[in-house]
Structure 1
Amino acid sequence: MADMAPYRICFVCTGNICRSPSAEVIARARIHDAGLAAQVDSTGLDSYHVGDGADERAVWALKRAGYDGSEHVAQQFHEGLFAERDLIVALDRGHFRQLHAMAPDAESAAKIRLLRSFDFDLEDVPEDDRRIDVPDPYYDRSAENSEFVEMIEQIEAAVDGIVDYLDERQGHPA
């Protein structure tokens, strides 16, 4: 299906330096390993980190798990991405609500999903349950960066579901 366009996925968090770039890196690697095609990127809802690299603790946690997050450059989400992406993945319920408020129409709103809604272990957890969030590790000051390590584990579990979701849609038309 060489004439088919790759599925387009955007991960969204607050500043695009911890959670969403980690999800981008992990999803890109796992999608590639599964032999699937997708355009994967990430953005933040706020502009204060635009142009910055990923948080060094996120890069460390990614590296510890076998991924390279060192090339990331933060960017901000904008309404035009609704038309340019097939799936917009929010990292927590706050992002989910903000994205819904920004969606210009019902078709755009239908593209928004919570990342952990793809986690097989959380399939029956309602979208208003805090367990569906990937908590923000930015304020983790532990010597072990434990919240960053947990973030990577949560993202990996959910990305397995995204790979299955994508596999079902491999014939995505341009």
Structure 2
Amino acid sequence: MPDRTVSILFVCLGNICRSPLVEAVARQRCKNAGLDVAFASCGTGHWHVGKGADPRMVRAAAALGYDLSPHRARQFASSDFTRHDWVLAMDNDNLQSLVSAHRGQGVEPQPFLPWAGLSSPHEFPDPYYGDAGGFAQAVALAERAADGLVARLRHD
């Protein structure tokens, strides 16, 4: 890993479920691994700017020791391509939005789960319109992906 702090941005649609969850899980897993990494998250949409994480995600994350209460949603800005070392999208729709906004400046956006070493699923499912079980499954997937992220960062 480089001698400087690496910065990773996670991007989902509204920045109230998946990306803040992954940010919190990755932050804790990297801290536990002794890795110096800065994390942030945002959404491609504007609907939830300034709001906290979805209460269902807050509960599911808290059940496993992840605190999402400080989170406030923000929308992706083109300057994020130059402020972060990696811009990682939760699904293909978010990735396409980022690719459209990229315009050749800064880092190229990538899909998160394959970047973290997971071959399946390829996209991080959005639990927003599902039942409470989807939020618990999202936490489990975030933990698997964060473990892959730690392994990749140690290798790089």
Shorter chain as denominator, the TM-score bin is over 0.9
Measured in 1, the distance between the counterparts of 2:88 and 2:72 equals: 18
Gaps of 5+ in 2: none
Q: 1:115 aligns with which of 108, 112, 119?
A: 112
Alpha-carbon separation, structure 2, partners of 1:137 and 1:28:
21
Instruction: For structure 1, list consecutive stretches of 5 or more residues without a partner in the other structure.
Output: 126-130, 170-174
Say whether the 8 Å CA contact 1:116–1:155 is kept in structure 2. Answer: no
3-state DSSP of counterpart to 1:160: helix
Number of residue equivalences: 156
TM-score with structure 2 setting the length: 0.92
Matched-pair contact (CA < 8 Å) for 1:10–1:88:
yes
Deviation at 1:70, TM superposition (A): 0.8
CA contact (8 A) 1:9 1:87 kept: yes
In the TM superposition, residue 9 of structure 1 has moved relative to its aligned partner by 0.4
- Give, in angstroms, the shift of residue 113 of structure 1: 2.1
Matching residue of 2:14: 15
Amino acid at match of 1:61: A
What TM-score do you get using the length of structure 1 for normalisation?
0.83
8 Å Cα contact 1:13/1:20 also seen in 2: yes
Deviations 1:80-105 (A, max 9, x none): 01000001111011111111111121
Q: Which of 113, 123, 132 is the equivalent residue of 1:133?
A: 123
Note the alpha carbon deviations across 1:47-78, whole angstroms, 9 max, x for none.
11000000001101101121111110001101
**Identical columns (%):** 35
